[in-house]
Amino acid sequence: MAKFKRILLKLSGESLQGNQGYGIDPEHLAEYAQQIKAISDQGVQIGIVIGGGNIFRGLSGAAAGLDRVKGDQMGMLATVINSLALGSALTSLGVKNRVMTAIRMEPIGEFYNKWKAIEALERGEVVIMSCGTGQPYFTTDTGSSLRGIEIEADVMLKGTRVDGIYTADPEKDPTATRFDAISYDEVLQRGLRVMDATATLMCKENNLPIQVFNMDKPGNLQRVIAGEAVGTFVHP
Ligand code: UDP
């Protein structure tokens, strides 16, 4: 039995690059698609938001002298590229899906609309919502909080490359320990960089719990859906 009926899955752009350091690793993409298919087959309604950091980030553009808004627009287009790639990988596994865009660009994707997204989810389609919020100066973490709240998801599942939320970055500090559960307030007070503060605050104010887990371990998405204690649960 699935613990959640409707989820918002957030994947970072970087997670799609695998060990390549840039772009999209086809094997990694196919593995993610398999995990998503497994829970879709169980009847879980799945909304997805993907980042674009494997291709472009507005902040890095600004650091290199680009206009910030144009850089952010480039970043949002990067999320569309990743969303099309994941949609295509899901299609090749026979999983019905659609890519929606927060900025109009038919026929690449359908213009995002909460009610159309929910209708598609209820029909069993995976809905990939690209362009983050559609606005510059935001991140796809905030985009996923927003979409998760809009589609009335039971939980936001943040798939990362680490096993959850740690007291410090475990890739840099070997003494870092992992939380099984933590409140939104503690995440904010400790300045833990799970998501940006805007995204965490939105989840807090709208009671959207977050489960942070390692999506790079095959089968983990199914374990989270089955209610196993995988990763860190962020709660009110
Ligand atoms: N972005 C934006 N508005 C949004 C979401 C994303 O302008 O609502 C831009 C921003 O430049 C960001 C880039 O898209 O750096 C890629 O998104 P993000 O950094 O969140 O990707 P991730 O870190 O998850 O790969």
Q: How confident is the model at residue 2 (pLDDT cuts 50, 70, 90)?
A: confident
pLDDT at 203 > cutoff 80 = yes
For domain 6-235, give the fold.
Answer: Carbamate kinase (3.40.1160)
Most ligand 1 atoms within 8 A of CB, residue of 55, 72, 194 to mutate: 72
Q: Which ligand 1 atom is at minimum distance from the Cα of 136? A: 7
- Beta carbons of 102 and 131 less than 8 angstroms apart: yes
CA 155 to CA 189: how far, in whole Å? 22
This prediction's pTM: 0.96
Q: Which ligand 1 atom is at minimum distance from the Cα of 142? A: 8
CA 193 to CA 197: how far, in whole Å? 8
The per-residue pLDDT for 113 is: 97
The per-residue pLDDT for 71 is: 97
- Ligand 1 centre distance from Cα of residue 119 (Å): 26
Largest distance between two CA atoms of the chain: 51
The per-residue pLDDT for 194 is: 86
The per-residue pLDDT for 151 is: 98
- Ligand 1 centre distance from Cα of residue 70 (Å): 12
Question: Any residues with Cβ below 6 Å from ligand 1, and which?
Answer: 12-14, 51-53, 57-59, 71-72, 75-76, 78-79, 132-133, 135-136, 138-141, 143
- Ligand 1 centre distance from Cα of residue 228 (Å): 30
The per-residue pLDDT for 13 is: 94
CA 203 to CA 156: how far, in whole Å? 9
Please compute the mean of the pLDDT values over residues 225-236 and round it to a whole number.
Answer: 94
Question: In whole numbers, what is the pLDDT of the chain averaged over residues?
Answer: 95
Please compute the mean of the pLDDT values over residues 24-52 and round it to a whole number.
Answer: 97
- Ligand 1 centre distance from Cα of residue 2 (Å): 30
The per-residue pLDDT for 1 is: 76
E-strand stretches of 114-222: 126-130, 155-160, 181-183, 210-214
- Ligand 1 centre distance from Cα of residue 42 (Å): 31
pLDDT at 104 > cutoff 90 = yes
- Ligand 1 centre distance from Cα of residue 123 (Å): 29
The per-residue pLDDT for 41 is: 97
Q: How confident is the model at residue 226 (pLDDT cuts 50, 70, 90)?
A: very high
Instruction: Read off the pLDDT of residues 117-175 as tens digits, 9 standing for 90 and up.
Output: 999 999 999 999 999 999 999 999 999 999 999 999 999 999 998 899 999 888 888 89
